[in-house]
A = this chain, B = another copy of it.
Amino acid sequence: MSKGLTAVSFTQVRFSDKFWAQKQKINKDVTLNICLEKCEKTGRITNFEKAAGLIEGDYEGIFYNDSDVYKVIEGIAYSLMNHPDPELEKKADIIIEKIAAAQQDDGYLSSYFILTAPYKKWTDMDKHEMYCGGHLMEAAIAYKKATGKKLFFDVACRLADHYVSLFGPGRRHWVPGHEEIELALIKLYHETEEKNYLDLARFLLDERGHGHGKGGRWDKGDDKSYYQDEIPVREMVKVSGHAVRAMYLYSGIADVAAISEDAEYRSVLEQLWENVALRNMYITGGIGPSKYNEGFTTDFDLPNETAYCETCASVGMVYWNHRMNLMSGDSKYADILERVLYNGVISGVSLQGDRFFYDNPMESDGTSHRQEWYDCSCCPTQISRIIPSIGDYMYAVDNHRIWVNLYAESNAEINLRNGSVKIEKITNYPWDGKVSVRVFPTVKEDLELFLRIPGWCKSISASINHQAIESLEFEKGYLKIKHNWKSGDEIILNLDMPVETVRSINKVKENTGKAAIQRGPLVYCFEETDNRRNFDQLRLCQNSQFVVENNNQDNITEIKVVDQKNKMTFKAVPYHFWDNRDPGRMKVWVEMEDSDESTFLYYTGSKLL
């Protein structure tokens, strides 16, 4: 069994496009600063100072607030690569010093327990001690990679060592109520090669479902499935409970499975993935329909107006699908990654970077709007770290081969065993499907490049140096090109990107008689502000004509839907773009007149996914 691929780090990738580079700039200029300010104003930073004894005062806020600070620092770390900013780095350094100061001698760190009830440490599995610890580790690793500074990283290792000293076979049982620590420990293992971290991660995964969870007395009406603790991981076949927790758990399982060649884990993951992707996912890639448990309900229960689709869960989908892609080399996971990234994730933040969606519905009566901050503010800080780390999801490699997963105008320096390859992409993706990939290798031998052909794309053309590629080969959804590359060789890949009318399968009752529109990776929606006069008449029909128009002011491509029969035109904008102008109603799924197949001899029947 293959050990899988390795992601090319964000440190090797630079964006020069109008899409991600722009979002990263706004993330740096606005979002990260807002998150820092809010963390300061809400006592999230001073909690560390208090825990360190540097200042006096009580703990402020919710028990897991440390995690927000870690996530912002992780975001700053990623951001520094593309947008060096000594001021921002200085701010992070200062916070890190406070965090380090708060760490106790044995390595323990949770400002909440230190300040409120040190005697209650490790007594309540749903108080997120390890969840916060995991975010600390992720942030510390990112910060070391970005800046070379080791202070934070050392804090992380001491914290991990502390966990190892307490939990594991022959030591204490523990079932983290909110998963996250598992994937963080694996990250730390990859950085340190310290096997204890891997072992602890594996231990924590296998603790689940054996009755160790909180002495059998979980909150939420003792619904163990909310915490993914109802059955052992190896027996899981169906997603359950809190969506973010589930995503982090599955990511952790995938990390371990990739390392340990654990066929049972892999099989569990594939089943869970099918359950999510084919039965419990919104068209935006969003997951978790219910506000009640912030999570999953029953298969095909995908209401539109009350769709919860927490931004954090969408980011979790990126994490999990990224790992599945690396483990398997299968593009279907990258397809979902792209779908959720371009829709369910980036809808979570306003264009100005200053307001955030916690839940991302498919339809709104006009009352749903982004907010500046939340008491439970996991989503803004989640955004602050995913936007600048897009670079992590672009490329994967093994010793000799390169996989291209995402398309955006960018440069990358990719190291292989026998040399490096510089890759320059020129494209207007996601607004246009033409991608130029120029290759500058120091590698002498033939090199295999795998270009992902997105699941939404059914027809392509491709050339090398303007010559058709002789023997086309596809592998797991990638166009595989083996070639003796010369410096400056250019692949041109054309991904046909028409507007597609999308329907749900019948089992999604909510969407009966409805359709949505998608172009390339982007799901579109209709906002009242663009369709004031006829929002109530909004519908698609067989002969709707789609007109694709660049809106240079907003830097988006709009779709005009022309209903020729009723002489009406509707305007659709990318789903992620919604609620950035005048407030109003919004719909992704709209009525579509029944397709009377008996009146059409021939029809297209291709699938999107």
Contacts and interface: CB of A to CB of B under 8 A. Distances in A.
B547 A459 contact: yes
Interface string A41-61: 000000000000000000000
Nearest to A460: B547
Contacts of A519: 459
A564 interface: yes
A501 interface: yes
A426 interface: no
A517 B516 CA distance: 24
Nearest to A279: B601
A597 interface: yes
Interface in A567-609: 569, 595, 597-609
B498 A498 contact: yes
Number of this chain's copies in the assembly equals 2
A482 interface: no
Q: Of residues A497, A595, A601, A603, which shows the largest number of chain B Cβ atoms within 10 Å of its Cβ? A: A601
B601 A278 contact: yes
Given A543-B477, A564-B475, A605 B503 contact: yes
Interface string A123-154: 00000000000000000000000000000000
B598 A607 contact: no
A499 to B, nearest CB: 4
A560 B281 contact: no
Contacts of A292: none
Contacts of A477: 543, 564
A519 to B, nearest CB: 7
Interface in A175-192: none
Q: Of residues A474, A497, A542, A546, which shows the largest number of chain B Cβ atoms within 10 Å of its Cβ? A: A474
6 contacts: A459-B546, A461-B550, A497-B498, A600-B608, A602-B607, A602-B608
Interface of A: 277-279, 281, 283, 453, 458-462, 468, 472-477, 479, 494, 496-508, 515-516, 519, 542-550, 559-560, 562, 564, 569, 595, 597-609
